[in-house]
Chains A and B, each alone.
Chain A
Amino acid sequence: MSTTTPSPQTEAPTPSTQQGVTGLTDSSTPLYQRVIRMQAFQILLVLIVIIAVFATLAPHNFANLSNARQIVQNASILAILGVGMTFVIITSGIDLSIGSVMVFSGVIAAKLMIALGGDGWGTAFLGIGASVLTGLAWGMLNGFLIAKAKIPPLIVTLGTLGMALGLAQILTHGVDIRTVPQVMQDEIGYGNVFGQVPVLSIIALVVIALGMVLLHGTRFGRYTYAVGSNEESARRVGVRVDAHLIKIYALSGLLAGLAGVLSLAQFGTTAIAGQTQTNLNVIAAVVIGGTSLFGGVGTIFGTVVGLFIPAVLQNGFVIVGIQPFWQQVAVGAVLIAAVYVDQVRRASAARGRPTRSLFRSRSRTTPEEGSSEGDAA
């Protein structure tokens, strides 16, 4: 029967022809995780190559600690958003509203801090709390509309994108608020620990670490993959899919709220007209990082690497002195390449089928079974 095997890529990466579970030992590297790791590793390779190219072109100006520090600092806020977006996209959803939610949460925080008065930590912490809660509220609204009202995520978050931005403009009459407690700007926005490490980056690092643990270590993460992999199956085995989706979007909103107040701290302004591209930049990073828009696959690590590719490209292009427009061209090309690779990978992993249709996949692969030498003892 093996001669009738229809496609040449049916062999999975491991040449395991062993029969039965008992044939495998615990010491064998987890295959699934290995594939994922490989994907992230490949993205990392791309990043390293990009860095190497710029380091060669501009050895003194690009490849030094203070430049690296700037790149990391400028990517920090996006990384926080990227953690939430990774969860969302793994469920095969999307969150377009993050940029506007950032602005809105920043406005609420700024207004509250002005009302409270004072330039100290007390005011700053209340502002941070207000921003995070505001973001959480928007996220819960997104999640509720998506999970309960069954409106597609693209539409819901496009709607809340406009609502959050419009309400931010109404609250401020379109005038940016530039009154931010001094400690916030000095200690968070431009603060450093150990002399050189930006506080913003430390916060981002903590969020990334927590995100990794949550996604890869806990039941919450497991359900996130399950919902994105096959929502109906998850529902049937008793996963509370609706509640889970609400939590996912709430998480994304919460992180947008955090990002909003950090942006306020960094820039000292609510930047109402800004953040218009933030959502797309973050989505691009997540996708470049190997998270599949079809759901079920993705890592936080990949997202972080995916964020650094555009960030390093932009930085390098500026230093080398290339027209700024080329950066968009390059990032666009990387994005398409990343999705192409995802397609190739999924095609071979799922034997030519998008993973959604398990049934069709099954009937297609039926003739291959002979090649795996019997399925039950």
Chain B
Amino acid sequence: MKSTKLVAVASVAVLGAGLLSSCGAAENGSSSSGGGDKKSIAFIQGVAGDQFYITMQCGIQDEAKKLGATVKVQGPEKFDPTLQKPIVDSVVASKPDAILVAPTDVSAMQAPLKAAADAGIKVVLVDTTVNDPSFAVSQIASDNEGGGKAAFDAIKSQVPNGGKVLVVSVDPGISTTDARVAGFKQAVAGDSKFKYLGVQYSHNEPATAAKIVTAALQKDPDIVGVFATNLFSAEGSATGIRQAGKQGQVKVVSFDAGPDQVKALEDGTIQALVAQQPGVIGQDGVQQAMNALNGKSTEKQIQTGFTIITKDNMNGDAKDAIYKSSC
């Protein structure tokens, strides 16, 4: 009797899973058994649910539609290679024609992605990269060092007289944010009016970023600018400055332009945003993947640009640069 019960429970669970699977697949509007020569593309995000990757996903889906390819999207719950690797392995097992992937670690994702390429799948690295990306048909990312310089320019235009500036980054070892920090640091070094206080790491936790910024303001109450290299760091930094009651004195310039940051921009806690062009990265990624699949030549490396968003232009010409929460 007991065993019947368990089997019943299990069957319900599994039936549910099966049901979900059919719904889920339908939701993505991409039945894999579709048109015979339709190319299938898998997009593996760095972390699921992040607006940057969602915007990129929108660009990918639009472009894929245009070029006649299907797209499936997967991503780990956290920006964590130990969670992303099983997903990559599973995606490889599903044998898509091409994979667009944002690797979560330069070392850890090297072998799994190399294996994907060895299995005949065209791999395009988007946003982040790995130690030896020679297996990839293309790498597409923002010119992150240039982004760091742009961030410094944004701070400079807010605080022309100079002062101390702090950087709040995510984790060391992420190629994109490291490059942003390097670009920023270089730009500060080129201007004697500014003093670089170094970089702190938020581990992608807004709460940690808030703690870092409040603590830094305790130590150096005269900080004039904070450069937060990504979304969560910026949200946390803004919270920290609010907690310390230093709104107005400390200018926050952040990378990326999610709805929350735009809100912060509206509220005046963040003064400028350096927006990447994730949609463009996605479009380019699909184009490069399709080129590779169709035997055309590919560009090994593409760097995309930035848009600086401030309160003044956010509803004007910079409006389209804001990231999306859904396509």
Contacts and interface: CB of A to CB of B under 8 A. Distances in A.
Direct contact of A and B (CB under 8 A): yes
B189 interface: no
A319 B79 contact: no
A291 B108 CA distance: 33
Contact of A328 (B11, B77, B204): B77
Contacts, number: 179
A95 to B, nearest CB: 18
A276 B78 contact: yes
Interface in A308-345: 311, 313-326, 328-330, 333-334, 337, 340-341, 344-345
B108 A325 contact: no
A371 interface: no
Nearest to A317: B21
Interface string A171-188: 001111010100001000
Contacts of B93: 61-62, 64, 66-67, 70, 315, 319
A323 B201 CA distance: 30
A263 interface: yes
Contacts of B48: 324-325
Contacts of A311: 86
B120 interface: no
A70 B108 contact: no
Contacts of B197: none
B111 interface: yes
Nearest to A281: B83
A273 B79 contact: yes
A374 interface: no
A344 B81 contact: no
Interface stretch (B27-35, B141-149, B263-271, B295-303): B27-35
Contacts of A326: 20, 24
Nearest to B92: A70
A324 B75 contact: yes
A101 to B, nearest CB: 15
Contacts of A173: 172
B94 A58 contact: yes
A317 B17 CA distance: 9
B85 A49 contact: no
A148 to B, nearest CB: 33
Contacts of A340: 9
B25 interface: yes
B80 A267 contact: no
A273 B263 CA distance: 28
A90 to B, nearest CB: 21
A46 B72 contact: no
A280 to B, nearest CB: 11
Interface in A51-69: 53, 57-58, 60-62, 64, 66-67
A38 B3 contact: yes
A74 B86 contact: yes
A49 B111 contact: no
Contacts of B215: none
A178 B74 contact: no
B67 interface: no
B170 to A, nearest CB: 9
Contact of A313 (B6, B17, B91): B17
A317 B90 CA distance: 9
Interface string B1-30: 011011101110110111011101101101
Does more than half of chain B's interface fall in helix, strand or loop, or is it mixed? helix
A274 B82 contact: yes
A329 B13 CA distance: 11
Given A67-B93, A324-B74, A326-B24, A268 B14 contact: no
Contact of A324 (B10, B77, B131): B77
B14 A269 contact: no
Does more than half of chain A's interface fall in helix, strand or loop, or is it mixed? helix
B171 interface: yes
A186 B6 CA distance: 43
Contacts of B201: 174
Given A268-B110, A274-B80, A314-B87, A334 B13 contact: yes
A267 B81 contact: yes
A334 B49 CA distance: 24
B83 A42 contact: no
B172 A337 contact: no
B312 to A, nearest CB: 37
Contacts of B221: none
A363 interface: no
Given A315-B90, A324-B77, A325-B48, A271 B108 contact: yes
A49 B105 contact: no
B105 A176 contact: yes
Contacts of B7: 42, 45-46
Interface in A73-131: 73-74
A109 to B, nearest CB: 15
A74 B94 contact: no
B27 A323 contact: yes
Contacts of A318: 74, 87, 90-91, 94
Interface string A31-48: 000000010001001100
Q: Which 5 A-B pairs have the closest CB atoms?
A: A322-B24, A318-B90, A267-B108, A268-B107, A67-B93
Interface of A: 38, 42, 45-46, 49-50, 53, 57-58, 60-62, 64, 66-67, 70-71, 73-74, 173-176, 178, 180, 185, 189-190, 263, 266-269, 271-278, 311, 313-326, 328-330, 333-334, 337, 340-341, 344-345, 348
Given A42-B6, A329-B20, 16 more contacts: A50-B17, A53-B18, A176-B171, A267-B107, A273-B203, A276-B80, A277-B78, A316-B21, A316-B90, A319-B90, A319-B91, A321-B94, A324-B75, A324-B77, A340-B9, A344-B5
10 contacts: A49-B11, A57-B18, A173-B172, A267-B81, A313-B17, A314-B90, A322-B25, A323-B24, A330-B17, A344-B2
